[in-house]
Amino acid sequence: MARLVIVSNRVAVPEEGGKAVAAGGLAVAVKEAFSSYEGLWFGWSGTVTENPAEEPTLIDRGRVQYAVVDLSPQDHKEYYAGFANRALWPIMHYRLGLGAFSRSDYSGYSRVNRTFARALAKLVEPDDIIWVHDYHLLPLASELRGLGLANPIGYFHHIPWPAADVFNSLPASGDLLRAIADYDLIGLQTDPDVQNLSRNLIDTMRAIPLGGGSLMVDGRRTRIRSFPIGIDVDGFREAADKAGSNKVVRETIAGLRTRKLLIGVDRLDYSKGVPERMEAVSSFFASNPDQRGNVTYIQITPKSRSEVPEYEQLAREVNETVGEINGSLGDPAWTPIQYVTKAYPRPVLAGLYRAARVGLVTPMRDGMNLVAKEYVVAQSEEDPGVLVLSKFAGAARQLPEALLVNPYDRFEVAEAIRTALYMSRGERLERWKPMAERMTREDVDWWARNFLTELEHFRTVEREPPTAAQAAE
């Protein structure tokens, strides 16, 4: 059986006995990819230690072997908290003002990619296909090629790929564009992301388009295509169906009494637009005073990347915003915003989504946004709620029946909340049905299968040099 090797910064090693760990979107998606392969999942152990071992720790769990490496404090600071999350993350999310580039962080990022490649190369067999995930590992294929690996290597970028002028503001952008072309297949979330990267490679690297998404860059052929990531629809729907028996869900619903629920669930990240959303909810109550006391907004926002100063600052800003809004609008019998920073497991979230009349998913920019998809899938088919979705989330392309909003315009979002709350059941059903069908068709399995089927081609056909006609195109 052909082996699949997955590489990602975070690795979700299941507990012994097959019990899955609490997993984010990336981990669930990657797990799905192993359903038709055996193989290896390589990445950071999540541990930071003074003297990390050079060899990865190997953990066997059935058909998948996990190979994890620790990071030194310097690696963690420069590679993860520094270049990946203070330079690449803001730039990829179009937040030029938040980007903090440092040469030492970039050299740490390059060093960790090199160290990962050296450790991984020893574990890869000639027949393996390799699938690398996310922005922490842009140069990995290039490092692996430098060590002589000729295996098909694919890359999936979970976050947005910005327009050339934005990306090229990053001082290391030229190196990264050169390095990314060492992947055989590059998967992005949406077609605009594909256009942004392809255009940049053509204009900046003089790449030659070969048709069908293929480009010749510096004598190497790569293909760029969109593969919108999906969710585990069956698992999520089942969780929502069973959620009524969950204590947290039951008590939350009981606490609402007759109030309608607005829900937001996001990692605490400035790309998610949490304070902006709170301001929009505040505007809604300001212009709809009759709704005060009739609607509750629950915002669940687990803390994230607290070691990065911009995230610490955001945590303070959100606390202040919640305090101000609750203080000025609330009364002893009603708190407009219930804000929690605890992470809840899937059954609780699925139950809360189902109970919520409105799902508020209003990122300032997002590669895809799986919460939007989960909210849709969790709805009851008799009485579905309404999704208010940012037009700057990749998911908006697959969910055009949602109420699409500009998250920078708090009044537009406030108006959409009002429309959602007053929407008839007939219109809610009409909007929800096509979205639910699309989510079911385009689920995580569809996503993984599409990417891997295409990556498999690179074992043979795609490696052949372009014909004269293609090269002249």
Ligand X SMILES: O=P(O)(O)OC[C@H]1O[C@@H](O)[C@H](O)[C@@H](O)[C@@H]1O
Spatial separation of the C-alpha atoms in residues 160 and 154, rounded to whole Å: 17
Q: Give me the least distance between CB of 367 and ligand X, in Å please.
A: 7
What the block records as the tokens of 309 is: 């100063």
Kindly identify the residues of this chain, within the stretch 299-338, that bind ligand X according to CB under 6 A: 304-305
**Token couple for 145:** 């090629």
CB 366, min distance to ligand X, A: 8
Environment class of residue 16 by beta-carbon count within 10 Å: exposed (0-12), middle (13-18) or buried (19+)? Answer: exposed
Nearer to ligand X, 76 or 277 (CB): 76
- Classify the C-alpha dihedral 220-128-84-394 as positive or negative: positive
Neighbours of 234 (CB within 10 A): 13
Span 168-207, contacts to ligand X by CB under 6 A:
none
**Of the candidates 418, 415, 419, 388, the residue with the CA atom closest to the CA atom of residue 404:** 388
365 in contact with ligand X (CB under 6 A): no
Are 298 and 341 contacting, i.e. CB atoms less than 8 angstroms apart?
no
- CB 305 → ligand X: shortest distance, Å? 5
Yes or no: say if 74 and 108 are a contact pair by the CB < 8 Å rule: yes
Q: Which is nearer to ligand X, 8 or 110 (CB)?
A: 8
Question: Whole-number minimum distance, CB 157 to ligand X, in Å?
Answer: 9
Q: Look at the block and give the residue holding tokens 């996503």.
A: 447
Contacts (CB under 6 A) with ligand X, residues 38-67: none
* Cβ 243 vs Cβ 339: under 8 Å: no
* Per-residue three-class SS string for 318-343: HHHHHHHHHHHHCECCECCEEEECCC
Task: Identify the residue among 31, 86, 158, 221 touching ligand X (CB under 6 A).
Answer: 158
Residue 94 contacts residue 69 (beta carbons within 8 Å): no
| Backbone angles phi and psi of 391, in degrees to 5 | -75, -5
- Active-site annotation holder among 93, 136, 158, 182: 158
State yes or no: residue 86 binds ligand X (CB under 6 A): no
| Residue 429: CB minimum distance to ligand X, A | 31
Nearest to ligand X of 158, 277 (CB atom): 158
The HSE-up count of residue 78 (CA atoms within 13 Å, CB side) is 17
184 is catalytic: no
Minimum CB distance to ligand X smaller for 26 or for 69: 26
**The one catalytic residue among 75, 193, 366, 443:** 366
97 by Cβ neighbours in 10 Å (0-12 / 13-18 / 19+) ranks as exposed
Report helix angle 346-355 to 370-378, nearest 10. Answer: 70
Q: Is residue 393 classed as helix, strand or coil in its secondary structure? A: strand
Task: Give first-to-last CA distance, the chain, whole Å.
Answer: 38
Decide whether 304 or 335 has the Cβ nearer to ligand X.
304
Q: Residue 159, interface with ligand X (CB under 6 A)?
A: yes
Minimum gap (Å) between residue 266 Cβ and ligand X = 10
Site for ligand X in 3-42 (CB under 6 A): 10, 24, 26
In whole angstroms, the minimum distance from the beta carbon of 71 to ligand X comes to 13
State the number of binding residues for ligand X (CB under 6 A). Answer: 8
- Using the minimum distance from each CB to ligand X, give the nearer residue, 93 or 354: 93
Using CB atoms, what's the residue nearest to ligand X?
158
Q: Does 134 bind ligand X (CB under 6 A)?
A: yes
Which residues contact residue 357 at a Cβ distance below 8 angstroms, ignoring those fewer than 6 apart? Answer: 260, 261, 262, 385, 386, 420, 421
Which CB, 162 or 336, lies closer to ligand X? 162
Minimum Å gap between C-beta 335 and ligand X is 29
Task: List CB contacts of 240: < 8 A, sequence separation 6 or more.
Answer: 350, 351, 353, 354, 377, 378, 379
Q: How far is the CB of 332 from ligand X (least distance, A)?
A: 38
Query: Whole-angstrom Cα distance, residue 25 to residue 31?
Result: 10
Q: Using the minimum distance from each CB to ligand X, give the nearer residue, 26 or 216.
A: 26
Instruction: Give the residue with the Cβ less far from ligand X, 141 or 210.
Output: 141
Cβ neighbour number for residue 204 with a 10 Å cutoff: 15
Q: Is 76 a catalytic residue?
A: no
Q: What share of the chain is helix, strand, coil (3-state, %, to 5)?
A: 50, 20, 30
Cα separation, 396 vs 190, whole angstroms: 10
Query: Residue numbers of the site for ligand X (CB under 6 A)?
Result: 10, 24, 26, 134, 158-159, 304-305
Catalytic residue list: 158, 366
